[in-house]
Amino acid sequence: MSSHDPERAARIATEVERFVRDVVIPFERDPRCGPHGPADSLVDELREKARAAGVLTPHILPGGHLTQRETAMVLKKTGLSLLGPLACNTAAPDEGNMFLLGKVGTPAQQEQFLKPLVEGRARSAFFMTEPAAEGGAGSDPAMMKTVAAPDGDDWVINGRKAFITGFEGAKIGIVMARTGSAENIAATMFLVALPNPAIRLDHILDTLDGSMPGGHAVVTIENLRVPASNILGKANEGFKYAQIRLAPARLSHCMRWQGAAVRAQEIATDYACRREAFGKKLIDHEGVGFQLADNLIELKQAELMIDWCADVLDSGAAGGNESSMAKVAVSDALFRVADRCVQVMGGAGVTRDLIVEQVFREIRSFRIYDGPTEVHKWSLAKAIKREYLKAHGA
């Protein structure tokens, strides 16, 4: 990780904001934006423009990854458009996969898998979640049914995965599979070049959100053969690596959606200050003005929560509980912000002529992925109990 330099990060954030507002936002109504996310042709075009503007993968510099606090400054600006993270190469799941590969990957793995991600020449997918109807892993990864078995110098993987964001069109995959014994549940992460005939697309799910290229896929993995050299980190350590990835990835989601909610507030404010009803501007009606005021308060609270959690991660702490608190607080707050923006704009707020309606849908989905609110609260309650028992010698 590079040394902390907030002035440098502020300069990068300013350049990113200018690029997103001037170049990316005009593409938001491009016909290549479909129900399962933007087409790769659009993503590639935007990344070429970002490369030319010097804002491609702005959170990773030659000296290393920006600090989490600096990353927050930059990713909030990429989020001002739903296409911004894709254009600037800060979107999920690539951003989290880059972080994990940078932390755990060998030099050879980083050359083969990380380099094309950082350069924006490839997209990736993270294969962990499994179909709920089949009793597979979701919020509880210990329920994982996909199995990897050693076979000479290789491992052979079989199973099913669901909600695999960005699978269609991805060139790099991180597949998480169950290893170890029945008595000692463990998991291992494997790096896979995509497409691979052993990973078959069953279908793309129709979901509430639609901002991520490749959509959310259900796939079948049948006799996928992976060399042992493609194990990410060590065998049987997959659950630990998942936590390394998830804490900062949760926070990165908060950063990007903070930017999107700020943009929705800007649009709703402009509407309320221009639109007249019952003899005065909407903003002058308390029922409208107070909603925008509440948004301003919650946007600031979310910003402070993000920065607090970023400081915890920058201190070297794992930040599991802190990232859970931030994810719950920020996702719930930003959903309320987006909901109020829709309400303030009335009929205009529910049309797809403006981006506010999509921001509302995307942030609603954010309350589910990377752990639903209830799972994080349950985890925090367990931590409260542990600390109580520890303090009272029980």
Q: What is the CATH number of the domain that holds 349?
A: 1.20.140.10
Per-residue pLDDT averaged across 132-143, rounded? 88
Residues 248 and 333 in one domain: yes
288 and 302 in contact (C-beta within 8 Å)?
Answer: no
Residue 322 lies in a domain: yes
Query: Which are the contacts of 384, defined by CB distance < 8 A and separation ≥ 6?
Result: none
Residue 111 lies in a domain: no
Residues 268 and 136 in one domain: no
**pLDDT band at residue 335 under the 50/70/90 scheme:** very high
Domain limit, last residue, from 211, 236, 261: 236
pLDDT score for 3? 66
Q: Tell me the C-alpha distance between 194 and 142, whole Å.
A: 26
Indicate the DSSP class of residue 67.
P
Length of the chain: 394
Q: Which domain holds residue 225?
A: 124-236
Q: Is the pLDDT confidence value at 140 over 60? A: yes
pLDDT score for 293? 98
Rg (CA), the chain: 21
Q: Tell me the C-alpha distance between 333 and 341, whole Å.
A: 13
**pLDDT band at residue 182 under the 50/70/90 scheme:** low
**Tens digits of residue pLDDT in 235-273:** 999 999 998 888 999 999 999 999 999 999 999 999 999
Q: Tell me the C-alpha distance between 340 and 349, whole Å.
A: 10
pLDDT score for 4? 75
Q: Is the pLDDT confidence value at 142 over 90? A: no
Burial class (CB in 10 A: 0-12, 13-18, 19+), 108: exposed
pLDDT score for 2? 56
Domain limit, last residue, from 181, 216, 236: 236
Residues 199 and 291 in one domain: no
Q: 259, 252, 260, 285: which is closest to 271 by C-alpha?
A: 285
Q: Is the pLDDT confidence value at 5 over 90? A: no
